[in-house]
Structure 1
Amino acid sequence: MTTVLASTLSDTPVMGSDGTEIGTVHNITMNVETGELRRLLVTPTINDLRGFETNDDGKIVISAGRMSDIDDYLIVDLPSR
C-alpha cells in the first residue's frame, strides 16, 4: 500500500473492496509512540453497515488492517457477514 500522511486522510471517501461506497474518513486513531495507524472512524453514507462495528455516534470503526489501497478512494476489505 502507498505511504500517506495521516493528516491527508480526513474527508477521504471510503470504498469497500466490492466497489460499494461506504462513507468518508471522519477521524483516525494511531499509536503516537510508533506512528502505527490503528483504526479509522468513517461517517457512513450507506444504510447497510455490512457487518462493520459502529461507535456510539454511529461512525463505522474500521481496523487499519482492513485498509488495502488508497488513490481517489481509501479501499477497505469488507468484513465477513
Structure 2
Amino acid sequence: MSKIFARNLLFNKQVMATDGTEIGTLSNIVVEIKGGHIIDLMVSPNPTFDVSRYKKEDNYILIPFDSVSAIKDYIIIDKMKARV
C-alpha cells in the first residue's frame, strides 16, 4: 500500500469490509516504534458484528493494517485477510 498520512486516519472513522459490512469505528492504531509502520487498527466493533474470528484486546478487535484496501470516507478492509 502507498504511504498513508495521519490526517487520513481520523479517529472515529467508520471501518467497513469490502462486502459492505459495517465493522465498527476506528479507536486507535498500533504502531511499530522503530520503523513507524502501522501494525493494527484498534476498532470498536458494532454490537451486531461477529467478532469471533478476530484478534481481540479488551473491548476492541485488532485488524491488521495489511488488510486495509482503501482509506477515503471509510476505512475499507478485506475481511478474509483480517481474520485470525
**TM-score (normalizing by structure 1):** 0.82
**CA–CA distance in structure 2, aligned partners of residues 29 and 50 of structure 1:** 21
CA distance in 2, matches of 1:20, 1:30: 26
Q: Please report how far the alpha carbon of residue 6 of structure 1 lies from its aligned counterpart in structure 2 after TM superposition.
A: 6.5
Per the alignment, residue 56 of structure 2 pairs with: 54
The structure-2 alpha-carbon separation of the partners of 1:14 and 1:8, relative to structure 1 and needing over 3 Å to count, comes to same
Between 40-49 and 10-19, the greater mean CA deviation after superposition: 40-49
Whole-angstrom CA distance in 1 between matches of 2:47 and 2:77:
15
Return the letter of the residue paired with 2:40: R
TM-score for the superposition, normalised by structure 2: 0.79
Select between 46-55 and 14-23 the one with higher mean Cα deviation.
46-55
Superposition deviation, residue 49 in structure 1:
2.2
Contact 1:22/1:46 (<8 A) preserved = no
Following the alignment from structure 2 to structure 1, what is the Cα–Cα distance between the partners of residues 36 and 7?
9
% same residue: 34
Q: Matches of 1:27 and 1:6 in 2, distance apart?
A: 13
* Alignment RMSD (CA, Å): 2.2
* Unmatched 5+ stretches in structure 2: none
